[in-house]
């Protein structure tokens, strides 16, 4: 009896702490396995998953007795999708009863953080249902609404993709707004204004302390822009804590300052010269182009971005997919809107295998996520659909199966999420080393 009581106590403690009491083993029978790195499809493969990690892939995988089998023999199976530039707690409500004129400036004044987290709860589920198993949320979330969403998803309180979060954006005075002297505080809490090196360092430390797992700098939205040295100070401070840095930069000078300063990615990057693109290639700096459709961006800017993408691809710049969807579109979920951004890469004449790498393994590398490929040791973030995305990228619109961290969230086209009986504690651990792994 003493041993039974001890076993039950151990099981209860493990459940309360969110720890597995035994290995959870699943095998997926993949009729068509998409190798995004090679751009090839292999038939009749098995994927063995233990406790949310892929442990073996192949046509001769030894499967333990009693293993749960998921039959996807009629499907094309590939890694889960990744959006490296999201704003889950921001939605410009064109034509809504809260009329913000389609501007996040008004959104930031009208909607408090709690409302934006509520919106993010719905948008996170929509992204997961569409096949996005990871996202990098890049600011404009009120007072750390993105961090709240990430913790709630990690704790099992709501369904959504794994998240990397930027917290509050760091910018020269004014950020992306035009301020007026009577109300200089209207930029809070969207931005932390930091104009000296000491202010930049303090802003980064505050962000990390409050839960940011990536730092976002606004480089060139004002007549005064961050210099190469300003950026280097920020990057050294963040990298010392194991945190990467993204740079919102649009002008050639701003992009170049950010790249020379050592950032990990350029967001938007509308106007780089070929020399700057060559520098990005040499430094391994990712371009996250956020290529809005022409209906939102306008024909001139849209085709300018397409031309920029052609130049970046020809030069060999590392590229990761990021959408930057911030608006509501009648009749479409946030996931469907996000997938619509892929069309710009077709207009740039990108091969489909390159597009798939951008939205899986490249984005995973940028985020520092152990995902993006179906290989032993990777996270079990897996989706499936009826058609081959290498033949037609629009096959991604019909994802019928979604697994994240080894847990099935969508099967046979139906979203599955049951309120768990035991929830994990979403409180943040004290940060040490790699923030992505420990937050």
Contact 403, 412 (CB under 8 A): no
The region, left, alpha or beta by phi > 0 then psi within -120 to 50, assigned to residue 433 is left
Token readout for 327 is 């608006």
Dihedral over Cα of 316, 320, 324, 328: its sign: positive
What is the H or E stretch that residue 13 is in?
Answer: helix 2-16
Quote the pLDDT of residue 95: 41
CA 309 and chain centroid, separation: 20
Predicted local distance difference test score (pLDDT) of residue 297:
83
Q: Where in the chain is the domain with CATH 2.30.40.10?
A: 2-79+375-419
d(CA 247, CA 265): 6
- Give the sign of the dihedral formed by CA 371, CA 377, CA 383, CA 385: positive
Yes or no: say if 170 and 199 are a contact pair by the CB < 8 Å rule: no
CATH homologous superfamily for the domain 2-79+375-419: Urease, subunit C, domain 1 (2.30.40.10)
Query: What angle in degrees, to the nearest 10, is found between the helix axes of 299-315 and 274-283?
Result: 50
On whether the CB atoms of residues 294 and 302 are closer than 8 A, the answer is yes
Question: Which residue has 């209906």 as its token pair?
Answer: 295
Q: What is the pLDDT of residue 111?
A: 82
CATH number of 81-367: 3.20.20.140
Supply the pLDDT for residue 306: 97
Report the chain's terminal Cα–Cα distance, integer Å: 39
Mean pLDDT of successive 10-residue segments in the chain (439 residues)? 37 42 84 98 97 96 92 98 95 50 64 91 97 96 95 95 97 86 83 96 98 98 96 98 98 98 98 98 98 88 96 98 90 94 96 98 98 98 98 98 97 88 58 42
Q: DSSP 3-state assignment of 211? A: coil
- Ranges in the chain annotated CATH 3.20.20.140: 81-367
Name the 3-class secondary structure at 435.
Answer: helix
The pLDDT score that the predictor gives to residue 134 is 98
Q: pLDDT value at position 103?
A: 61
Geometric angle at alpha carbon 379, from 367 and 36, rounded to 5°: 75
**Total-model pTM:** 0.90
pLDDT at 98: 40
Q: DSSP class of residue 386?
A: S
Q: What is the pLDDT of residue 11?
A: 42
């Amino acid at each position: 009896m003493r041993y039974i009581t001890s076993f039950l106590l151990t099981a209860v403690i493990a459940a309360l702490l969110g720890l597995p009491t035994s290995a959870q083993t699943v095998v997926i029978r993949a009729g068509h396995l998409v190798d995004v790195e090679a751009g090839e499809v292999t038939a009749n493969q098995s994927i063995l998953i233990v406790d949310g990690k892929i442990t073996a892939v192949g046509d001769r995988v030894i499967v333990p007795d009693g293993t749960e089998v998921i039959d996807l023999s009629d499907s094309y199976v590939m890694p889960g999708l990744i959006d490296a530039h999201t704003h889950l707690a921001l939605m410009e409500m064109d034509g809504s009863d809260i009329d913000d004129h389609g501007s996040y400036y008004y959104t930031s004044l009208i909607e408090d953080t709690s409302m934006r987290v509520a919106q993010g709860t719905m948008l996170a589920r929509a992204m997961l249902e569409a096949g996005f198993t990871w996202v990098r949320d890049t600011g404009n979330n009120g007072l750390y609404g993105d961090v709240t969403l990430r913790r709630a998803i990690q704790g099992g309180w709501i369904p959504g993709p794994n998240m990397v979060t930027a917290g509050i954006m760091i910018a020269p005075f004014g950020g992306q707004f035009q301020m007026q002297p009577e109300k200089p505080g209207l930029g809070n809490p969207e931005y932390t204004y930091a104009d000296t090196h000491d202010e930049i360092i303090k802003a980064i430390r505050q962000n990390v302390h409050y839960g940011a797992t990536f730092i976002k700098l606004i480089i060139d939205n004002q007549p005064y822009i961050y210099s190469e040295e300003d950026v280097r100070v920020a990057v050294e401070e963040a990298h010392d804590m194991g945190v990467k840095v993204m740079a919102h930069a649009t002008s050639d000078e701003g992009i170049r300052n950010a790249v020379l300063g050592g950032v990990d990615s350029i967001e938007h990057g509308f106007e780089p010269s070929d020399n700057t693109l060559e520098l990005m290639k040499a430094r391994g700096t990712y371009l996250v182009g956020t290529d809005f459709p022409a209906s939102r961006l306008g024909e001139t800017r849209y085709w300018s971005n397409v031309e920029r993408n052609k130049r970046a691809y020809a030069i060999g710049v590392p590229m990761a997919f990021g959408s930057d969807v911030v608006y509501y579109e009648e009749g479409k979920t946030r996931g469907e809107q996000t997938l619509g951004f892929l069309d710009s890469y077709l207009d740039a004449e990108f091969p489909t295998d390159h597009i798939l790498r951008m939205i899986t393994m490249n984005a995973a590398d940028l985020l520092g996520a152990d995902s993006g490929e179906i290989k032993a040791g990777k996270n079990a973030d897996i989706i499936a659909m009826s058609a081959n995305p290498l033949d037609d990228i629009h096959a991604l619109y019909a994802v019928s199966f979604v697994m994240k961290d080894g847990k099935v969230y969508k099967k046979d086209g139906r979203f599955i999420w049951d309120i768990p009986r035991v929830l994990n504690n979403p409180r943040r651990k004290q940060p040490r080393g790699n923030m992505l792994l420990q937050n």
